[in-house]
Structure 1
Amino acid sequence: MVAYLHIGNVKTGTTTIQNFCALNENKLLEKGCIYPQSFRITSRHWGLVEQILSPNKDKNGQVLKGLNGKEFKAHCDKKFIFSCEGIVWEFSKIEYIQQLKFFLENLGFYKIYIILYLRNISDLLNSLYSQEIKNNLQIDLAPIDPNMHSKKHIFDYKWLCQSYASVFGIENLKIRIFEKDEFFNQDLIEDFLHCIDLEVNKNEFLIPQNQNKSLNLLGIELLKRINQKSKDPNTIKFLSKIIEKYFELDSFHSHLKFSLKAQLCENYENFFSNSNEWVRCNFFPHKKELFRNQGIVEANNRVGFKDTDYDDIVDFVLEIVRLKNNTIKFLKEF
């Protein structure tokens, strides 16, 4: 059997790709591909990560949770498509990658292609920070020193490419640049279809909306303060959904694009510059630079808001929520 394993990177349109595949799984079957239910949690194959990281393995080094044997037997003539950015996110050691290959080969896959999208370091850093705020994560996804980043390996594109090449073979790597001008027909979905060697008309498929957008400057500052000021997780979740609805970044409000401090971004750009250059030389020798040079723009001061203004807005919103909760509680007791 043949597998196309889309491993990320994080913040490179993975949710859009996964939703597309899940939404069109019947159409993909007609085209000779399967986006299997096995190992799938919602629309991504997080179960593959669990297979490797789970401490409850059987004597063959495998866990059976999520495995649908009938699905593999019924579609052994089709191309299997797996997608989970958690593979890049969680597998910081080459041993995990080796175990993943061993596991897939035991399922019957003799040919495994790896699809990996790489994003400009500063853009990735900013997008991760936005996700940190949205999810109220208790980890620092933008430390000043790149060496101190808990997920340093996801920025080290040389390490990623070398590691997966050493395990799966460099000829089986499909390394893509996450930039519109680099996509096949300047479209992410068409680029992914091209990666899985499926030459079809995109219009034959249902196209999901873009998912998991970053927050704009106002959204970042508001939600960051809500996370700090409110200790109630339900309140944070409630307000987070509203903020995502109204304060996601779009082309009409580009002046509100958030960016971390320029010096911080430059630290990461410089730290991983040799890594990027190695990838360029080995996978994109025709390019002068791995990523389009767009400069590092510190956008935080474009809008004339002060810290006290944000604090006042958040205090006002939290007061509304407290009043709402008190009213509901009073009515229930009444």
Structure 2
Amino acid sequence: MAVIYLHIGLNKTGTSSLQDFLRMNAQALGDEGVCYPQAGRDAAAHHPLSKWLKSPKGIELGAAAPMVASLLDEIRGADKVVISSEDFHTHGPKSIEHLARLLAGHEVHVVLYVREHVAYLASWYQQNVQATHLSCAFDSFCYFTRKPLAKIADQWARVFGRDRVVVGLYDRAQLVQGDVVQDFAARIGLGGDLQRFKRKPYESNPSVAGNLLFIKRLVNNFHSKPVAAGFVDEVTALSKLKPEFQGAMQVDAEVVAYVAGMYKGDRQELLQRYGVKIEAPSGALPGRPTPDFATLQQDWTLVMDAARERGFALGGNAELMQLTDCRRLVATEA
């Protein structure tokens, strides 16, 4: 029977980079005794398998489902197996137990990366504004999107056993060589510096920030989720217009204190049960001001002109609103 490593996320902890590495090197990893199954995954990750397993139909069919049968056949005889999808961390007890039944007889280890709460939520918020029709402020997003991280690990520990759940901190200062791919490789016993494998020369899932993020948030108010989501690749392309359109989002000190207070108990539980120490942040989270009123008017013009020149659908929003001298807002608020 195989030793199976279930990489369950979180989202925004380098999952795309890790999954791209596993996909690009599936054959080479297989030569070294690590199977990254094709069954149940899309291009890079096992998202279809995860979503299928927690669906009523998936639970009903179980091992008889073609996807699951193919997976079990593919891992038969393997020494080590990696199955990866950040969607797994959203499973509840019923689907986790179902997965355990399907993998019965194998030695299953669960790997979960967590992240300091404010930075995690900020990165998640940036992605959702860019990729959906989310238009609320960041503090509202934090209030309505509570996610105690220790409870996620607890659900998997109750099914697979506490000694089979490993929680790592997504922090470059603590990751092996400051790299989540290298860190995960060490956790599964894949030795070396990985130079023998292919790596993407660019970030898999860059964050959009600054006034471009704020412009997308404004535009989201006027569209349904499918339409707003259709702008995602265009926004990614437009993020190259200015360095200020990429990177982390600045979060004010009072919001940082508010979110850190929400998760005080969670930090304590992660330390007590999983040995993961997350320092409580203080002061503002550094990053791009979102919005930056001093340049918002000219950035709106820059983005919309570039969108229309490139034939992007986003350019059709150019006449939605007329921005006046936004610097007056700064003076009024001051």
For the superposition of Structure 1 and Structure 2, which TM-score range results when normalised by the shorter chain? 0.7 to 0.9
Give how far 1:175 is off: 1.1
**Which residue of 2 is the match for residue 100 of structure 1?**
99
Q: In 2, distance between residues paired with 1:9 and 1:324?
A: 30
Letter in structure 2 aligned against 1:99: H
**Which residue of 2 is the match for residue 55 of structure 1?**
56
| Shift in CA distance, 62/219, structure 1 to aligned 2, threshold 3 Å | farther
| Shift in CA distance, 232/138, structure 1 to aligned 2, threshold 3 Å | closer
User: Which blocks of at least 5 consecutive residues in structure 2 are unaligned?
Assistant: 317-334
Q: Does 1:196 align with 2:184?
A: no
Q: Does 1:305 align with 2:284?
A: no
**Structure 1 residues 198-207 or 70-79, which shifts more?**
70-79
Q: Does 1:263 align with 2:254?
A: yes
Letter in structure 1 aligned against 2:272: C
Letter in structure 2 aligned against 1:13: G
Letter in structure 1 aligned against 2:179: D
**Which residue of 2 is the match for residue 214 of structure 1?**
207
Q: In 2, distance between residues paired with 1:156 and 1:265?
A: 16
Q: In 1, distance between residues paired with 2:191 and 2:61?
A: 38
The answer to whether the 8 A contact 2:39-2:71 is kept is no
Query: TM-score scaled to structure 1, two decimals?
Result: 0.79
1:80-121 CA-partner distances (Å, limit 9, x unpaired):
100000111x32x3222222212222xxx4210101101111
| Shift in CA distance, 179/292, structure 1 to aligned 2, threshold 3 Å | farther
**Structure 1 residues 256-265 or 115-124, which shifts more?**
256-265
Q: How do residues 141-160 of structure 1 correspond to structure 2 at under 5 angstroms?
A: 142=138, 144=140, 146=142, 148-149=144-145, 152=146, 155-160=147-152
The answer to whether the 8 A contact 1:4-1:114 is kept is yes
Give how far 1:140 is off: 5.9
**Which residue of 2 is the match for residue 243 of structure 1?**
235
Aligned pair count reads 312
The answer to whether the 8 A contact 1:125-1:265 is kept is no
Give how far 1:32 is off: 0.3
SS at match of 1:18: helix
Q: Does 1:164 align with 2:160?
A: no
Identity among equivalent positions (%) equals 18
**Which residue of 2 is the match for residue 284 of structure 1?**
275
The answer to whether the 8 A contact 1:97-1:164 is kept is yes
Give how far 1:12 is off: 0.5
**Which residue of 2 is the match for residue 87 of structure 1?**
88
Give how far 1:220 is off: 0.5
- Over the residues paired in the alignment, what is the CA RMSD in angstroms? 3.6
Letter in structure 2 aligned against 1:280: L
| Shift in CA distance, 317/64, structure 1 to aligned 2, threshold 3 Å | same
Among residues 106, 110, 113, which one is paired with 2:109 in the alignment? 113
Q: In 2, distance between residues paired with 1:302 and 1:73?
A: 49
SS at match of 2:40: coil
Q: Does 1:134 align with 2:130?
A: yes
Q: In 2, distance between residues paired with 1:127 and 1:249?
A: 20
SS at match of 1:179: coil
**Which residue of 1 is the match for residue 174 of structure 2?**
182
The answer to whether the 8 A contact 2:210-2:249 is kept is yes
Q: In 1, distance between residues paired with 2:63 and 2:284?
A: 45
Letter in structure 2 aligned against 1:94: P
Give how far 1:131 is off: 0.9
Letter in structure 1 aligned against 2:249: F
| Shift in CA distance, 284/232, structure 1 to aligned 2, threshold 3 Å | closer
Q: In 1, distance between residues paired with 2:111 and 2:47?
A: 16
The answer to whether the 8 A contact 1:177-1:183 is kept is yes
User: Which blocks of at least 5 consecutive residues in structure 1 are unaligned?
Assistant: 327-334
Query: TM-score scaled to structure 2, two decimals?
Result: 0.79
SS at match of 2:119: helix
The answer to whether the 8 A contact 1:52-1:100 is kept is yes
Q: In 2, distance between residues paired with 1:86 and 1:119?
A: 16
SS at match of 1:180: coil
Q: In 1, distance between residues paired with 2:210 and 2:314?
A: 27
Q: Does 1:122 align with 2:118?
A: yes
Give how far 1:216 is off: 2.0
